[in-house]
Structure 1
């Protein structure tokens, strides 16, 4: 295994579920962009391979939705992912960059939403951790030592 593969393997195995989802978005967008470049170059084989890889990632995202946790949200996400998947299929069949761009637009929007969610989760976790720190309340000796050193 080369160093890049080893690094990626370690990154995947140590990632949180939230980070894995972000990695899926990043991978899908990377393959879609490579597919776009190949479509514009009229390299049909390369565009097919990259767009297909993007489709596989979207399939994984659809299959990992947990409908039992939030049926309404999962139904909406499945609809978005299915739309993007169909647009990728159309881009592959018709060699239309516009179809690919529509799928990418959905994926970018979802990635940005996910990024904002992760930032908020990070803030919430930090606030919760700060509340859990057992800091002693200031007492007279502490106040005096602060005054003397100032």
Structure 2
């Protein structure tokens, strides 16, 4: 059996042991990372790298969309936002427009930061419910 790259082993373990909320946070972080890579590639006129990274960000937007439970108005609104951002990523790729990437990154960063707060609040509530002090 081949020895795995320690970073890859850690990444695989992080994903397989993460809660659904943590997985969503990882998706947001990954999307931001790929958008930033695409921005750099765009600035350096590396069209293929730009395209690959935007497509990775689009795949994450699709994953966020298909895993979203749309049984509330908030979730339905999030689905519409994900679809809008997916479309904007396509436009950024076709038009080679860093301003559009910046717009999408701003939305995803805001979603990520809000989601992080939700996770932290849920942990705090669980600790209080388990008799812990906060």
TM-score normalised according to structure 1 size? 0.83
Q: Cα RMSD (Å) of the superposition?
A: 1.1
Consecutive unaligned residues of structure 2, counting only runs of 5 or more, are: none
Structure 1 segments (4+ residues) deviating >2 Å: none
1:113 paired residue number: 114
**Deviation by residue 1:36-63 (Cα, 9 ceiling, x = unmatched):** 1111111111000011101001100000
Aligned ranges 1:48-59 → 2 under 5 Å: 48-59=51-62
TM-score of the pair, normalised by structure 2: 0.92
Query: 2:11 matched to which residue of 1?
Result: 8
The equivalent residue for 1:99 is 100
The CA deviation at 1:79 is: 1.1
Name 1:25's counterpart in structure 2: 28
Equivalent-residue separation in structure 1 for 2:33 and 2:109 (angstroms): 11
Higher relative contact order (CA 8 A, sep 6+): 2
What is the rounded CA distance, in whole Å, between the counterparts of 1:127 and 1:34 in structure 2? Answer: 40
Q: Give the conservation status (yes or no) of the 8 Å contact 1:83–1:103.
A: no
What is the count of residue pairs matched by the alignment? 129
1:88 has 2:99 as partner? no
Q: Find the counterpart in structure 2 of residue 141 from structure 1.
A: none
State yes or no: 1:37 paired with 2:40. yes
State the partner residue of 1:139. Answer: none
